[in-house]
Amino acid sequence: MAVNYVRHGSTLPPTPTSICRTQTVRGYRWNNTASGVTASQPCQKPYNRGQTFRTCTDGTWSEPEYSTCRTVAIADINTIYLIQYVCCGTTILTVLLTLFILVFAWRNPGPGTTILEISFGLAIIASNTAFIAGVNNTADELMCKITAVCLHYLPTVTVFHLFAIIFHLATLKVQTSPNSYCCLLFTAWGTPAIIVGLYGYFTTLEEYGNTENCWMVFSIRLFWVYYGTLMAICGLIFISVLGIIYRMKLPGRGPKLGSVIGIVPLFIVFITTIMAWVTGVISVNEYNDGLYITQIVFGTFNFLQGLAYLIVFGVLGSRARKAKGNTQVTELVTIN
């Protein structure tokens, strides 16, 4: 059985004066380990969740730590999987329906925001697909890490798309060239790739994939990278919304963006998307010993995310375009 190691006090390889020798305790085999290193391995039967830890200090093993070992009934695990599969599957189908409306229901769909909307929908589908793949453990460590990296990258891409769409609306009369749309798409897909790539490089992918599922190992450092990025994007979206409101006050200098109440549809998409992927990490990493609260919360917001995408970009957006004959989706902000 594979044993993982965590070094303490330094990122450099330890230079111990003594080593804890291989030892078997209660069926767990602890291999030679350098002093100052904590070894870990999956809990064995009768447990089916958690890890056991043991630290080597000055050539002496500490007592094994089994506090995270627990048993989750197979029926409970299946219920958790069912909740996640149903909610993710429903969201994927809803977004696919919206993409059908965006691509095929319009005879002449224009560029610009339409492209951003389609790209946003593809990001939601990819995020949910990776989520379904990541809740199950896999014996292939490489594939598990790849899936975990995707689960860090794709939800971040989804949130960046919201910023790109709202920023586009806030600068509609300034950013109208095809190059501006390419820049927004690069921002939505490229910036998260840079963030995740740099983090994975400096951590050598140690925090991607664990013994229970192919997801991120939740740590304080990763907390700031994942949630910190989401909160930073929330701040940028808020600033962009203020820019839209400001331009509404200048009818002679900006497009007719309509009333402030019209921002509500996009705000609903924003809230459901943020809440879905904030609770998504928690729902995978915490099974709560049979309490399905986090799974239900994530599933609810994830379903609402897909529903909001369908209503705002599929139904209301289509109606606005037909009413105004404009494929630039300026009217999305004017819907009351």
Instruction: Please answer whether residues 222 and 148 qualify as being in contact, where contact means their C-beta atoms are separated by less than 8 angstroms.
Output: no
Reported as half-sphere exposure (CB side, CA atoms, 13 A), residue 287 has a value of 22
Instruction: Please answer whether residues 30 and 24 qualify as being in contact, where contact means their C-beta atoms are separated by less than 8 angstroms.
Output: yes
> Which pLDDT score, from 0 to 100, does residue 125 have?
95
pLDDT digits 0-9 by tens, 192-203: 999 999 988 888
Position 254 pLDDT exceeds 50: no
pLDDT band, residue 287 (cuts 50/70/90) = very low
Using the 8-state DSSP alphabet, how is residue 17 labeled? S
Q: Could you give the CA distance from residue 119 to residue 257 in angstroms, rounded to a whole number?
A: 23
Q: Could you give the CA distance from residue 142 to residue 334 in angstroms, rounded to a whole number?
A: 48
Share of the chain above pLDDT 70, in %: 69
> Which pLDDT score, from 0 to 100, does residue 11 have?
47
- Kindly report each contact of residues 228-233 with a partner whose C-beta sits within 8 Å and lies 24 or more positions away, as own/partner: 229/156, 229/159, 229/192, 229/195, 230/156, 230/159, 230/274, 230/277, 230/278, 233/159, 233/160, 233/162, 233/163
* Topology classification of domain 74-334: Rhopdopsin 7-helix transmembrane proteins (1.20.1070)
Q: Could you give the CA distance from residue 96 to residue 122 in angstroms, rounded to a whole number?
A: 9
Phi, psi at residue 263, to the nearest 5°?
A: -75, -15
Reported as half-sphere exposure (CB side, CA atoms, 13 A), residue 87 has a value of 23
Phi, psi at residue 18, to the nearest 5°?
A: -150, 160
pLDDT: which is higher, 325 or 120: 120
Q: Shortest CA distance to 129 belongs to which of 150, 100, 143, 99?
A: 150
Phi, psi at residue 257, to the nearest 5°?
A: -90, 0
The alpha helices in 135-219, defined as continuous H runs, are 141-170, 178-203
Encoding tokens for residue 23? 């030892």
What totals of helices (H) and strands (E) does the chain contain, helices first? 8, 8
Question: Cα–Cα distances in Å, from 302 out to 62, 137, 299?
Answer: 44, 22, 5
Encoding tokens for residue 295? 């799974």
Q: Could you give the CA distance from residue 31 to residue 220 in angstroms, rounded to a whole number?
A: 28
Give whichever of 138-147, 221-230, 276-285 has the largest mean pLDDT: 221-230
pLDDT digits 0-9 by tens, 232-253: 888 888 887 777 777 666 655 5
> Which pLDDT score, from 0 to 100, does residue 72 have?
60
Q: Could you give the CA distance from residue 291 to residue 285 in angstroms, rounded to a whole number?
A: 13
Average pLDDT over residues 201-230: 75
Q: Could you give the CA distance from residue 325 to residue 321 in angstroms, rounded to a whole number?
A: 5
Which residues are registered as beta bridge partners of 5? Answer: 39
Encoding tokens for residue 299? 């599933």
CATH 1.20.1070.10 boundaries in the chain: 74-334
Q: Shortest CA distance to 6 belongs to which of 219, 197, 199?
A: 219
Average pLDDT over residues 177-192: 85
Question: Cα–Cα distances in Å, from 163 out to 68, 167, 287?
Answer: 39, 6, 32
14 burial type by CB count under 10 A (0-12 exposed, 13-18 middle, 19+ buried): middle
